Chain A
Amino acid sequence: MIASDVLVAQNVGFAIIAALMIFGALRVVTTNNVVHAALWLVVVLAGAAAQYILLAAEFVAVTQVMVYIGAVMVLFLFGTMLTRARIGAEKDLNNKNWYIGLPVAGLLLVTILIALKDGFGDEKMPADADLFTVAQVSDLIFGPYLLPFWALSFLLLAAVIGAIVLARRD
């Protein structure tokens, strides 16, 4: 591989953002305040959006910001603050069975690594790869992939209606 194939700036950016994301993810599970955990999760999600930008997938990046930071995390914080959000440190935030998660996480990591290695091997994305514009993405969604898109929409609609049915008492 010749040096000009490597996108130095992008790789340095990736490493910095990835390190921030890992640190944020660790703080999510180690911090002793629910709201702090939620805010560290915002850091992780914003990092994911930044990584998408590095991959030139700006539509996905903006969607990530809108859905996860603008909606999911706000609802999450909203919910916690309505019910329980004490100021300062809290005890008993850790589930005492937390170590069961470790093998599951390890298994997931191994699965993803095998899948990536199996699927792509040593294949590299060319530095001058064609970028997908938003119009192309929408042409794909509303063209060849219309049926899966409909199925997904239907699933989400069913989930929304189910949530309302479960939440309403009358």
Chain B
Amino acid sequence: MNTVIISTELAYWAQSLLRVLGGLVAVLLPAGTIVYIFLFKMMSFMQSRLGPMEAGPYGSMQLFAEVGKWLQKEDIVPAAAQAEARIFKMAPLIVLASTFLLVVVVPFGPDAWFTDFETGIFYALAVGSVSVLGILIAGWSSANKYSLLGGLRAAGQLIAYELPMVLAVVGVVIQAGTMNLQQIVVAQNAGSIFGWDGVGNPYILTQFVAFLIFMIAVQAELTQTPFDMPIAESELVSGYMTEYSGFRFLIFFIGEFATAGVFAMIASILFLGGWGVPFAWFGWTDINSVDNWMNVAGPLILFTKMLVLVFFIMWIRFSSPRFREDQLQRFAWKILIPISLINIMVTAVFKVAF
């Protein structure tokens, strides 16, 4: 903030317009990149095939072809669901809205943020849980036994794994002393390990247990294998998404991968230092002394860290079998939650001791 800040020079409407456009980019760009790099190419590579190759060089235009295909399909409401057509049509929008609400608190640079929300991470966890509502009513309004089963399984799973996620975050919040995501980023990059500030103090070092629990919970929240019981295509034919076609299916699809991107961004902010580089490299001390070019480099750094984390999510997704329903519930309630409670206690003791 030492030189020109873009937000002080623009009128309020221009800022708001920029923020809306930025939000669209921040949701759609990661989703598209994740689908192309990981879902198309990495999965094909792991299965010894080429993946899409026809549309554009190395199939890079395949995404646009897919979106075009979905948009021209008919928007079908099944006959049995006609009585609840409005709710049936609303459900995917709730899921996507929850993703857009999530990205609002993600800081991309010293001045590149949408809102500097004081209760940032708490807000993110709260609106992240709104998507369950959309999934539940999607399953119910489809008027289909398999969809309802899928919706119920999804709700049970998402409730169970939200708890370890919240509890894992508490460790980071205790250590950083704030719930504001921007300040969590600064606390990590301005920090030092026993006086050595070469890499700052990313919380993945001190909160490694919390990081593991958080990533497992993210995997479950996104209903990716091995936690894909709710959409198990071999037994529930995609669960709550079964009856959706055309652009409503596309919205569910975008929602899934955009949420993966946003959760990976939040994980990299909490544990890997977010948009920042260790401040000591350039002699910065706090957020006010960070150079302006970080507003351009920051989003790229965050994007890179996000891709690394999504790589792990997708790696596990493509290479593991499915948990049984009782196994995944027991795993959340009897293993993850006790470990995260112990982690909170240990973190609190160390916070007071040092």
> A60 — nearest CB in chain B belongs to which residue?
B119
A58 contact set on B, CB distance < 8 A: 117-119, 123
B162 touches A70 (CB 8 A): yes
A81 touches B132 (CB 8 A): no
Known contacts: A71-B159, A74-B133. The answer to whether A66 contacts B126 by CB under 8 A is: yes
Is residue A78 contacting chain B, with contact meaning CB distance below 8 A? yes
Say which residue of B83, B119, B136, B178 sits within 8 Å of A77 (CB atoms): B136
Is residue B237 contacting chain A, with contact meaning CB distance below 8 A? no
CA of A64 to CA of B118 in the docked complex: distance in angstroms? 16
A82 contact set on B, CB distance < 8 A: 152
Q: Interface size (B, Cβ < 8 Å)?
A: 33
Say which residue of A59, A63, A66, A89 sits within 8 Å of B129 (CB atoms): A66
Is residue A44 contacting chain B, with contact meaning CB distance below 8 A? no
CA of A74 to CA of B134 in the docked complex: distance in angstroms? 10
B127 contact set on A, CB distance < 8 A: 65
Say which residue of A36, A74, A77, A134 sits within 8 Å of B179 (CB atoms): A134
CA of A82 to CA of B158 in the docked complex: distance in angstroms? 16
B80 touches A87 (CB 8 A): yes
CA of A158 to CA of B233 in the docked complex: distance in angstroms? 41
CA of A63 to CA of B119 in the docked complex: distance in angstroms? 10
- In the complex, chain B residues 136-183 whose Cβ is within 8 Å of any chain A Cβ: 136-137, 139-141, 143, 148, 151-152, 155-156, 158-159, 162, 178-179
Interface size bracket, A side: 20 to 34
Is residue B84 contacting chain A, with contact meaning CB distance below 8 A? yes
CA of A89 to CA of B148 in the docked complex: distance in angstroms? 18
> A35 — nearest CB in chain B belongs to which residue?
B140
Is residue A88 contacting chain B, with contact meaning CB distance below 8 A? yes
A42 touches B152 (CB 8 A): no
5 residue pairs, one from A and one from B, having the closest CB atoms: A70-B129, A66-B126, A88-B83, A65-B126, A62-B123
- Apart from A73-B133, A85-B140, A88-B83, what 10 extra A-B contacts exist at CB < 8 Å? A35-B137, A42-B133, A58-B119, A59-B118, A65-B127, A66-B125, A66-B129, A70-B130, A74-B159, A81-B140
- Residues of B that sit less than 8 Å from A by CB: 80-81, 83-84, 87, 117-119, 122-123, 125-127, 129-130, 132-133, 136-137, 139-141, 143, 148, 151-152, 155-156, 158-159, 162, 178-179
